[in-house]
Amino acid sequence: MDQILRHILSVRFEDLEEQTVRHAKDRIIDTVGCLVGGAFATGNQQLVDLIKARGGKPEATILMHGGRVPASEAAMVNCILCRSYDFEPVSPVAEGRSAPGHVSGTTVMTALSLGESVAASGRELLTAMLLGDDLTARLLNTSEFSLALGWDGNGLANALGATAIAGKLLQLSEKQLRSAFGLALNQLSGSAQNIWEGTTAFKLPLGLAARNGIFSAELAAAGWTAPKDALRGPFGYYHLFTTGIRDEELLTKDLGKKFWSDMTFKPYPGCRSTHGLIDCALKILHLHRPDPRRIHRVICHVPSHAGTSFLAQPWTIGEFPQGNALFSSRYAVATALLRGSVKPAHFTEDAIRAADINEFIRRIEVDHSSSSRSGWALTVVTEDGRQYSAEVRVPKGDIPGNPLSREELLAKFRDNLSFAGKHSSSAAEQLLELLYHLETLETGEEIVRLLVP
Would you say 257 and 331 are in contact if contact means Cβ atoms under 8 Å apart? no
| Cβ contacts of 96 within 8 Å, gap of 6 or more | none
The span from the CA of 311 to the CA of 367, in Å, is 12
Would you say 42 and 322 are in contact if contact means Cβ atoms under 8 Å apart? yes
Tens digits of pLDDT across the chain (453 residues): 999 999 999 999 999 999 999 999 999 999 999 999 999 999 999 999 999 999 999 999 999 999 999 999 999 999 999 999 999 999 999 999 999 999 999 999 999 999 999 999 999 999 999 999 999 999 999 987 677 788 998 999 999 999 999 999 999 999 999 999 999 999 999 999 999 999 999 999 999 999 999 999 999 999 999 999 999 999 999 999 998 888 889 999 999 999 999 999 999 999 999 999 999 999 999 999 999 999 999 999 998 777 778 999 999 999 999 999 999 999 999 999 999 999 999 999 999 999 999 999 999 999 877 544 679 999 999 999 999 999 999 999 999 999 999 999 999 999 999 999 999 999 999 999 999 999 999 999 999 999 998
Choosing among 3.40.1380.10, 1.10.10.10, 1.10.540.10, 1.10.4100.10, the CATH entry for 2-267+399-450 is 1.10.4100.10
Written as one string, the DSSP assignment of 304-348 is HHHHTSGGGSPP---SSHHHHHHT-HHHHHHHHHHHSS--GGGGS
CATH topology of domain 272-392: 60s Ribosomal Protein L30; Chain: A; (3.30.1330)
The span from the CA of 368 to the CA of 277, in Å, is 13
pTM confidence score: 0.96
Strands 387-392 vs 376-382: parallel, antiparallel or unpaired:
antiparallel
Written as one string, the DSSP assignment of 214-249 is HHHHHHHHTT----S-TTTSTTSHHHHHSS-BS-GG
Residue ranges of the chain that CATH labels 3.30.1330.120 = 272-392
Side-chain half-sphere exposure of 371, counting CA atoms within 13 A: 0
Residue ranges of the chain that CATH labels 1.10.4100.10 = 2-267+399-450
The span from the CA of 102 to the CA of 205, in Å, is 10
